[in-house]
């Protein structure tokens, strides 16, 4: 995997017209473009097709969480679109995780289980009944997902190194909350620089605002790719 293939840029925009601007600007700089809830709700499968037309891989970030049959049907629909990555929530539990694994079988789509959102800290986890440090919840949910055949995990930089030590090498680790040195945290509670995340075992690094809000987004993306390449060396 080349350094640029490890960089994921989220198309967190309200409509397809704006998404196309960012696709045209960054498709040559990043390997993966992420279509999330806002854009998919607005533009639907056309957003995925626009990403594919640019030559980039599509990461469909819908964080599916429903009854098993509904989740499996959604996975089959996403697989028909040819998306490279699709997110589900690990807290959907064993039956649903098994169902989505079976639904994706034979397709190119790799399933990623969201463990604990990077915006959550210990206080917020306790408020929803998951008392204890985020790392403990992440580990429990990660083991559950991998045990039921999910291809990879979404976790914060703080849990990445521990998961890489304990999980098989072929388990993908996808890490949001990436902030180059000097960048604002925004609404992310658990963050790291691109170099640190890569050195600690992240396979894909999701970087949004530090690129989108940069004076020169292309230069910002290139700098992050360079940092990833340096960490690979």
Tell me which residues are annotated as active site: 63
Tokens coding 56: 């980039």
Tokens coding 106: 């034979």
Distance CA 202, CA 220 (A): 19
Distance CA 35, CA 17 (A): 14
Sign of the torsion angle spanned by Cα atoms 145, 1, 105, 35: positive
Q: What is the 3-state secondary structure (H, E, C) of the chain?
A: CCHHHHEEEECCCCCHHHHHHHHHHHCCCCCEEEECHHHHHHHCHHHHHHHHHCCCEEEEEEEECCCHHHHHHHHHHHHHHCCCEEEEEHHHCHHHHHHHHHHHCCCCCEEEEECCCCCCCHHHHHHCCCCCCHHHHHHHHHHHHHHCCCCEEECCHHHHHHHHHHCCCCCEEEECCECCCCCCCCCCCCCECHHHHHHCCCCEEECCHHHHCCCCHHHHHHHHHHHHHHHHC
């Amino acid at each position: 995997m080349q350094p640029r293939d490890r960089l994921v840029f989220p198309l967190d925009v309200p409509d397809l017209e704006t998404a196309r601007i960012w696709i045209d600007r960054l498709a040559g700089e990043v390997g993966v473009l992420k279509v999330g809830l806002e854009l998919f709700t607005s533009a639907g499968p056309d957003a995925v097709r626009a990403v594919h037309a640019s030559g980039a891989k599509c990461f469909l970030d819908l964080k599916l969480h429903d009854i098993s049959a509904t989740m499996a049907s959604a996975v089959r629909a996403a697989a028909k679109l040819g998306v490279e990555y699709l997110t589900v929530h690990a807290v959907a539990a064993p039956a649903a995780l098994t169902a989505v694994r079976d639904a994706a079988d034979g397709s190119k789509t790799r399933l990623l289980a969201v463990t604990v959102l990077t915006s959550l800290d210990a206080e917020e986890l306790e408020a929803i009944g998951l008392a204890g440090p985020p790392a403990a919840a992440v580990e429990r949910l990660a083991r559950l997902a991998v045990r039921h055949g999910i291809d990879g995990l979404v976790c914060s930089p703080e849990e990445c190194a521990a998961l890489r030590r304990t999980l098989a090498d072929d388990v993908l680790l996808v890490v949001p909350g990436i902030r180059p040195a000097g960048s604002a945290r925004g609404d992310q509670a658990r963050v790291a620089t691109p170099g640190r995340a890569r050195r600690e075992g992240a396979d894909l690094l999701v970087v949004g605002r530090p690129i989108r809000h940069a004076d020169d987004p292309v230069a910002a993306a290139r700098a992050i790719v360079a940092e990833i390449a340096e960490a690979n060396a």
